[in-house]
């Protein structure tokens, strides 16, 4: 087992080779732990069935629902939605200020709510005096903010992947978003691994923490500093 002094005496090239070896061993461990491909196929099959059923149900609604409908609970629906949107903005601001990974989730949720807000504003105000105001609001406010949120989430995901690749000793270009694999879930593993804690299926750590080393504090993580 390497201790901290031995690692510090290594050249950068030797440390890079060590990272590559450890990353390769961990990847083989993850791939070797899976034996259940049927479960993965079952989950994917359920997702496909849900998509087909939803598409068929959407067609039924389009053919059977009335063109106009007087709804109850109008105030509660919109006030509740705006409270949810306000909460999404607040959570996004907090996660951004604290520099937390949950910011990615907050940005995606915020973009989704903004797109829903724009859609329902425009559709429900059709043939009313507020229609063009809703269109302008969607084009100038909700949709641009949603685009900024999605682009921000995309950039953070690729940045996180770039850092992971660097720690594995890989210095090539960052792959496109759709080509980035799930971290910690090797090909062939059941997708139910996404529903359990990471410690339940990640490989054991092969290089222990040196004697006398301590865990980083939250302040050091936020500032990017190591232990003093």
The CB density around residue 216, as the number of other CB atoms within 10 Å, is 12
DSSP string, the chain: ---HHHHHHS-HHHHHHHHHHHHHHHHHHHHHT---HHHHHHHHHHHHHHHHHHHHHHHHHHHHS-S----S-HHHHHHHHHHHHHHHHHHHHHHHHHT-TTHHHHHHHHHHHHHHHHHHHHHHTTTSTTHHHHHHHIIIIIHHHHHHHHHHHHHHHHHHHHHHHHHTT--SPPPPGGGPPPTT--TTS-GGGGGS-GGGTSPPPSSPPPTT--PPPHHHHHHT----
pTM of the model: 0.66
Using alpha carbons only, give the angle 133, 135, 137 rounded to the nearest 5 degrees.
Answer: 70
Backbone angles phi and psi of 217, in degrees to 5 = -85, 165
188-224 pLDDT tens trace = 666 666 666 666 555 555 544 444 444 444 444 444 4
Query: Can you give the pLDDT of all 228 residues of the chain as single tens digits?
Result: 666 677 767 777 777 777 777 766 665 554 444 445 666 677 678 778 988 888 898 888 788 877 777 777 888 888 899 999 999 999 999 998 988 999 999 999 999 999 999 999 898 888 888 889 999 999 999 999 999 999 999 999 988 888 887 777 777 788 888 887 777 666 666 666 666 666 655 555 554 444 444 444 444 444 444 444
């Amino acid at each position: 087992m390497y201790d901290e002094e031995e690692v510090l005496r290594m050249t950068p090239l030797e440390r890079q080779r060590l990272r590559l070896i450890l990353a390769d061993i961990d990847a083989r461990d993850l791939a070797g732990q899976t034996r259940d491909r049927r479960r993965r196929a079952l989950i994917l099959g359920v997702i496909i069935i849900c998509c087909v059923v939803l598409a068929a149900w959407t067609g039924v609604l389009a053919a059977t629902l009335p063109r106009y409908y007087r709804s109850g609970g109008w105030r509660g629906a919109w006030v509740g939605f705006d409270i949810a949107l306000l909460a999404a903005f607040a959570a996004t601001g907090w996660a951004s200020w604290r520099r937390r990974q949950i910011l990615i989730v907050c940005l995606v949720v915020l973009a989704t709510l903004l797109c829903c807000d724009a859609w329902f504003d425009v559709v429900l105000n059709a043939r009313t005096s507020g229609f063009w105001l809703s269109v302008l609001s969607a084009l100038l406010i909700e949709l641009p903010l949603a685009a900024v949120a999605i682009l921000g989430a995309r950039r953070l995901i690729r940045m996180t992947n770039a850092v992971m690749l660097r720690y594995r000793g890989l210095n090539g270009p960052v792959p496109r978003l759709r080509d980035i694999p799930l971290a910690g879930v090797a090909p062939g593993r059941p997708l139910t691994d996404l529903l359990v804690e990471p410690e339940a299926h990640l490989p054991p750590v092969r290089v222990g923490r040196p004697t006398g080393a301590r865990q980083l504090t939250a302040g050091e993580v936020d500032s990017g500093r190591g232990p003093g």
